[in-house]
Structure 1
């Protein structure tokens, strides 16, 4: 297995300066053995004029004739890739210059491990020009030391940090093209069969941006985002019920979903959500307290 990389950069209506920042951070890598596949997911206007500014034969440009969603854009890049390892960079993030060099070294070190399919790293996190640090390994170890259980609880690393074996991506069916939480779903699928490895260094600048569907402003105002969490839960419900910690976390999520429904005056949906929370953790009294409040509120209305 080679340690050359196919880098997939999906983009949609990305401002030129933001897109250039992402592209430049890839082209400026100290490790030069890669191709950069930029997938324009039906932007209007096309992003092609920006891409043509670059005279680098490692760049491959693909354009969807219409917007097909993030999952489809990622899969288009994977299908077009020619190397054994696939990396991803979000259109509004930035790699540090030594990212691929560090990950290439780990590929060589772990090449005999047939179960290792994904290598990730820590990040620098920028939110409204405020810098913080995210230690992915620490988050993982705080949750559990089981990759599958941890992935069921949360996506504990960021897409722009990862490299994944292409054969593993194909094996698990690549990205779901019907949802929003596509990265999280992919990590759960991979964690069923493969292991992950963390480089405990910060190799990516992650920018919290309104360009992303997972940005809090978009998530709270977009019903599709809330619906997608519910969809993810039901898809993996059988696995979630195998793990005590996963059940507790999803209980809290369902309690929050119930309150979200109440804010929208969707009482039936709120009741169903409370029932799901109780199934997950019947011993947490917070569910019953909130359910009593629900009935009191319903009686008053």
Structure 2
């Protein structure tokens, strides 16, 4: 058994998947395996992966596109590590990412079964990069319940699944990712994780995330409804305690609507909404601008 299995789901990312693979194989912690799951790509992703001559790398291909959750689950099934780390194919890791996270977990008690880390975003827009640097969303929280609430309230950013390292036994208990989610797969997974484990944090930007454009509004809307329904008991408890859960998600969805040029839906969602963070006002303005000029 290797120490860590790295699962990289990908679909039509021939131009960037090599960077993700390199950043995984070049980790200072060498007792790893890397499982790339090609979710029925139609470009040259397979050729890029198979060009690597490294026994630690395994290529798995889906015959039909099944989505990111199913791709991660296929990677989990093929993995053998004591821990599982997830890396999106358009993201990259710093070389010491895994060693620092495992080091953090191995100094903690057994209730700490997963860790995340800091990240930095490379944006196409200089304005968005400036807002990222000046008005960061809260991060660096450790624990369980407080983190769970922060995620549902959209006041916390963990940087997506690329920042996570999780004990394999916990991944198995959770039965991996929920394949019914086309978006917000990492949110859903993390909420369930925090119901079973405490989450540790490494305070360093060990992940680089790249801007991947505007998500489809209808896809986001349906996934968000599914997400809030799945955890409706917690949402209701938070709402009764005076926290504006639904209102914050309405504001978040309004930004996506405006960015897609869906101004009527955006205006409707803004009614009765609440911004999760002051930076979201800047995000809303940029979304309106992009939607009008797209």
Q: Provide the TM-score with structure 2 as the length reference.
A: 0.78
Matched, 1:121 2:122: no
Could you give the per-residue CA deviations for residues 244-284 of structure 1, whole angstroms, max 9, x where no partner exists?
Answer: 578313223236658969944799xx69x97xx69x9xxxx
Q: Structure 2 stretches of 5 or more lacking a match?
A: 275-294
The answer to whether the Cα contact below 8 Å between 2:152 and 2:245 also exists between their aligned partners in 1 is no
Q: Tell me the secondary structure at the aligned position of residue 117 of structure 2.
A: strand
Give the Cα separation in 1 of the matches to 2:254 and 2:123: 28
SS of equivalent to 1:10: strand
Partner of residue 105, structure 1 = 103
1:250 is matched with 246
1:167 is displaced (CA, Å) by: 1.2
CA contact (8 A) 1:85 1:166 kept: yes
Query: Following the alignment from structure 1 to structure 2, what is the Cα–Cα distance between the partners of residues 120 and 162?
Result: 5
Partner of residue 59 from structure 1, selected from 50, 57, 62: 57
Tell which structure's C-alpha radius of gyration is larger: 1
Q: In the aligned structure 1, how far is the partner of 2:42 from the partner of 2:254? A: 38
Report the count of equivalent residues. 261
The runs of at least 4 aligned residues of structure 1 exceeding 4 Å deviation read 129-138, 255-267
TM-score (norm 1): 0.76
Q: Which residue of the partner structure matches residue 290 of structure 2?
A: none
- The structure-2 alpha-carbon separation of the partners of 1:229 and 1:56, relative to structure 1 and needing over 3 Å to count, comes to same
> Which residue does the alignment assign to 1:298?
none
Equivalences for 1:12-91 in 2 at 5 Å?
12-16=11-15, 18-45=16-43, 47-91=45-89
C-alpha distance after superposition, 1:169-217 (max 9, x if no partner)? 111221010112111000011111211001011111111123xxxxxx2
Structure 1 pair 58/243, CA: closer, same or farther in 2 (3 Å)?
Answer: same
1:176/1:182 contact within 8 Å kept: yes
1:136 Cα deviation from its structure 2 partner: 8.8
Instruction: Give the whole-Å Cα distance in 1 for the aligned partners of 2:103 and 2:27.
Output: 14
Per the alignment, residue 96 of structure 1 pairs with 94
Separation in structure 2 between the aligned mates of residue 71 and residue 246 of structure 1, nearest angstrom: 33
- The residue aligned with 1:11 is 10
**Matched ranges for 1:194-233 at <5 A:** 194-210=197-213, 217-218=214-215, 221-233=216-228
The alpha carbon displacement at 1:11 in A equals: 0.4
Pairwise CA RMSD: 3.3
CA distance in 2, matches of 1:124, 1:183: 17
Q: How many angstroms does 1:141 deviate by?
A: 4.7
- Is 1:240 the counterpart of 2:235? The answer is yes
- Structure 2 Cα separation of the partners of residues 47 and 222 of structure 1: 27
